[in-house]
Amino acid sequence: MKNNYAVLVISVIAIILALFALFRAPTGVAPIEKSTFDNILEKDEITVCYMTWPPSVIKAPNTGKLSGFIIDIFEEVAKDANLKVKYTESTWGGFPADLNTGKCDAAVAGIYPTIGRSTSVSFTRPFFYAGNGGVVKAGETRFKTVEDLNKEGVKIAVIQGEYGHIYSQKYLPKATLVVLEKGSDNTAPLVAVSSGQADAGLIMSDVVSEYVKLHPEVKDLFSDQPYSTTPIVWATRQNDQELLNFLNNGIDYLKSVGFLDATAKKYSPVGWYGLKQEYVVLS
């Protein structure tokens, strides 16, 4: 019996050591001689991870067809470079790993860049700003501004890692946070208010706007005035500077010809803000 136990322990340790050895060993991936962008141009194809977030990225439930203004904008960048776009679905928590393991070349969605995230992936320059909003119960009278939520006993539902979560941790320390997992369900903080699990739910304004239309039991706390805005970007692997330059140039060009704002307007996104074209008089 003792012998069996010893063998079992040794076998498990051997498996764990083998896994560590695999991690430490050089990877099985062939050394990259060409850059990602060279490979993209050679194949005339770019593989893109997407995460759904209507109306910027919409996956039609019945057909799986992708649409949304961020998809349209990326398609335009690819079209101008004669690239075919191959889409693969990712998750909000998993897209950095998908980029870094080569499952895709770029991540395309309404991504919010943070300093922490930029240690593992690179971000393009912002091409939109998205408003942040929230809901409270329909009959709620205690809250008029976001600062009113910073009180003992107030429960705020947020999605882990989302702007609302980061903001609440920093600026609403007296409130109790109900931190929900970041799945594909972007309504989670709002349904927490609908079901009485939280006093307020924070999420992007576009989600709030659509949700309150269908759910009279809650109201938009900030109406059309988001309590803050966050920059929206795309992401690439950390070392893919050429691809990053390409995407940045694409964004700049489409902004300069008015394509970004015109495309977004087609989808009437609430709480999304374009970039102001600024002119400086040189004298």
Partner 1 sequence: MVVYTWDFSVIFTYKEAILNGTLITLELTFFSILLGSVIGMMICLMKLSKNPLLKYPAIAFIEVFQDLPLLILLIWLFYALPPIFGINISAFSTALVGLSLNLGAFSAEIFRAGIISVPKGQTESSVALGLTKYQTMKDIILPQAKKMIIPPLTGRYIETIKLTSLASIIAVDELLHSGQNLISVSYRPLEVYTIIAFLYLVIIIPLTSVLKKLEKSR
Binding-site residue total for partner 1 (CB under 8 A)?
A: 50
Closest contact distance (angstroms) between CB of 185 and partner 1 is 5
d(CA 230, CA 278): 19
Stretch that binds partner 1, among 21-29, 108-116, 164-172, 261-269 (CB under 8 A): 21-29
Applying the rule CB under 8 A, the residues between 66 and 105 that interact with partner 1 are 89-91, 94, 97-98, 100-103
Stretch that binds partner 1, among 115-123, 178-186, 239-247, 257-265 (CB under 8 A): 178-186
- The 196-235 contact track toward partner 1, x by CB under 8 A, reads x----------x--xx-xxxxx------------------
Q: Which is nearer to partner 1, 90 or 124 (CB)?
A: 90
Per CB under 8 A, does 188 bind partner 1? yes
Applying the rule CB under 8 A, the residues between 23 and 62 that interact with partner 1 are 23, 27-30, 52-54, 58-62
Residues that bind partner 1 (CB under 8 A): 7-8, 11-12, 14-15, 22-23, 27-30, 52-54, 58-64, 89-91, 94, 97-98, 100-103, 183-188, 191, 194-196, 207, 210-211, 213-217
